[in-house]
């Protein structure tokens, strides 16, 4: 799993939700979110708060089939509230989810809709940590707030992104992604502003029947270098590769094509 333990993920879900609530606290709910063009801040908060309640229900009931309802029973979406009230509702959902995750424990078998992801409470704790982390970035772009995630959390978010983007089902479902898998095609990501012990470098191998990745410093067909936050936002398509914080070397068309194919489902 990740570099963090179950309790750390649980704590981070609530911490990130509170930080997100503070980011939007003084903004109008109708404020547009540039990194999620179809949403305003209210829709962003309703989405994330709904996800908390949806996952809380999965963990609590141990359902092994898809739950179609976006929100748990008895938790309707708030309407017509200001951003501070939406923030309180968001944190309430995060705390409810975390209560169930802690009660379940990391090894509890919990249904997951994504083929290839371990069906466990720990997987959900990790996913919702990083879901919140990235939506906090969306809110920060909308409001002009500073966004500087803790390096350890950002590295783990990139590890999880690598894991999800290498799942076999993604390649099977996308012919364009399969065409990128050619002999010799590799991608290297290198965060240049973190301590060496975090080993914040990744090598993605597109040469085989399936996509694989590893933490490594190796030459590649294309390399992307920059700050850890810059890399995180770039791979999640929250900032353009042309951002001045980032440098890329080699086959940039491969880099752009790979990011568009593997990251689109996160949007």
pLDDT for the residue numbered 223: 97
CATH code (residue 186): 3.30.1050.10
Q: Is residue 1 part of a domain?
A: no
pLDDT for the residue numbered 72: 44
Do 164 and 132 lie in one domain? The reply is no
Domain, as residue range, for 105: 6-147
Single residue among 97, 128, 147 that ends a domain in this structure? 147
What pTM was estimated for this model as a whole?
A: 0.92
Q: Is residue 94 part of a domain?
A: yes
The total of structural domains in the chain comes to: 2
For the chain, how many helices (H) and strands (E)?
9, 5
Do 12 and 134 lie in one domain? The reply is yes
Single residue among 102, 132, 147 that ends a domain in this structure? 147
Per-residue pLDDT of the chain (267 residues; tens, 9 = 90+): 567 999 999 999 999 999 999 999 989 999 999 999 999 999 999 999 999 999 999 999 987 665 544 444 445 677 778 999 999 999 999 999 999 999 999 999 999 888 889 999 999 999 999 999 999 999 999 999 999 999 999 999 999 999 998 888 777 777 777 777 777 899 999 999 999 999 999 999 998 878 899 999 999 999 999 999 999 999 999 999 888 789 999 999 999 988 988 876 665
Contact 12, 137 (CB under 8 A): no
Single residue among 116, 147, 178 that ends a domain in this structure? 147
Closest C-alpha to 9, from 130, 110, 182, 109: 130
Length of the chain: 267
Torsion of CA 58, 61, 67, 72, to 10 degrees: -80
pLDDT for the residue numbered 70: 44
């Amino acid at each position: 799993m990740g570099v963090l333990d179950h309790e750390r993920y649980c704590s981070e879900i609530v911490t990130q939700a509170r930080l997100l609530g503070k980011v939007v606290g003084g903004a109008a709910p109708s404020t547009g979110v540039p990194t999620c063009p179809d949403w305003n801040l209210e829709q962003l908060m309703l989405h994330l708060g709904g996800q908390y309640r949806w996952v809380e229900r999965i963990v609590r009931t141990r359902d092994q089939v898809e739950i179609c309802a976006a929100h748990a029973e008895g938790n309707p979406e708030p309407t017509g509230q200001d951003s501070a009230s939406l923030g309180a509702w968001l944190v309430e959902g995060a705390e409810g989810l975390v209560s169930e995750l802690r009660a379940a424990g990391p090894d509890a078998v919990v249904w997951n809709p994504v083929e290839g992801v371990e069906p466990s409470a720990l997987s959900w704790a990790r996913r919702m940590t990083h879901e919140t982390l990235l939506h906090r970035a969306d809110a920060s772009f909308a409001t002009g707030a500073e966004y500087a995630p803790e390096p350890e959390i950002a590295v783990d978010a990139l590890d999880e992104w690598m894991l999800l983007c290498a799942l076999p089902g993604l390649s099977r479902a996308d012919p364009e992604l399969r065409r990128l898998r050619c002999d010799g095609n590799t991608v290297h990501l290198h965060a240049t502003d973190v301590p060496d012990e975090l080993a914040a470098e990744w090598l993605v191998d597109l040469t085989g029947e399936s996509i694989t990745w590893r933490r490594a410093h190796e030459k590649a067909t294309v390399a992307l270098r920059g700050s850890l936050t810059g890399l995180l936002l770039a791979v999640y398509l929250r900032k353009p590769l042309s951002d001045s914080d980032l440098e890329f070397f080699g086959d940039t068309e491969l880099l752009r094509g790979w990011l568009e194919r593997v990251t689109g489902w996160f949007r």
